[in-house]
Structure 1
C-alpha cells in the first residue's frame, strides 16, 4: 500500500499544475458518476414501485366505482323482497332516530324542570334508557318539581328516595323513558 502511494506521489510530482487539476477533476467526476449510478438505480426502482402501486390503486378504485351499490334484481318477487328489506331498514333507522331524539328531549325536559323550580342542586345522569336524578331545594319547590315530574307522561319513576334536612329536601330518583307519543 505504501508503494502504491509513493508511486502516485512521484507521478504527481512530475506533472504540472494544469495536469494535476485535470486529474483531480477526472477523479472527482469518476467518483461522482459511480455514486450517482448507485443512487440512481435505487431511486429509479423506488419510483417504479410507487408508480405501480398508484396504478394498482387507481384500477381498484375504478372497479369499485363501476360496481352498482345495490345488486341488480330482475324478478318481480326478488324486487319486492328487496324493496321490503330496504323499507324495514328505513323503519328501523327511523325508530332509532326517534329514540335518540326522545332521550335528548327527555333530558331537556328534566333540565328545564330543574331550572324552573330553582333547585339549589340538580344533577342529571343518563345511562342508556334510564335517567338518574339528584336534587336539593327548599320543601315547596322540591315538592312542586316532584309533582310535575310525576305528571310527565314521557318518563316513568322507577325508584325514588327523599331525605328531609333542616331547611332543604334532598332526593334521588331513577326514571325510565317511555317511548311512543311524547306530550
Structure 2
C-alpha cells in the first residue's frame, strides 16, 4: 500500500525550490498567491496591476529564497516582499504623495453598523489618495508601526501619523455619507 502525502510542508518545498524544482516553486506559488494578491490589492486599486505586482513579487521571492532564514513565518517574509513591491510600483507611477501636518490627533472611526460589506469597505479605501491609503494599510492591516512605515516610505514619522489621521478622517466622512444616504438624511 502506498501512502500519499496530502500536505507538503513549506520547509520541504523551500528546500526543493532552492534547487530550482519547478513543481515546488509552483506549489509555493499556489499556496500563497491568493493571499499575496490580496496584499497587493490593498495598495493597488486596479486588479490587473495588483496581479502584475504580485507576479513580480514572486519573482523576487524565488530569486531571494536563499535569504530566507526561517526566522519567522515564510508567509510573513513573502508579505514584506509584496508590500515593498506594491510601494515601489506606486512610486514608479508617481502615485504616492504625502502632505505633512505638525501633529496628528488621535482619531477613531465610529460607525453605526458593525459590519460593512468588504467590497464596500475596499471601495472606500480605494477612494483614498494613495499616500493616505498606503499608510492606512501598512498600519491597520499589515501592522507596521510609524517608525517602520517612515523608514519604508522615506517619510518622517509625523508624516506617517498625519497620513493615517487624514485617511481615518476621510473614511469616517465616507461612512457618514453612506449612513446618511441609507437613512434618507441629506
Q: TM-score, normalised by structure 2?
A: 0.27
Q: Name the structure, 1 or 2, with higher relative contact order (CA <8 Å, separation 6+).
A: 2
Larger radius of gyration, structure 1 or 2? 1
Q: TM-score, normalised by structure 1?
A: 0.28
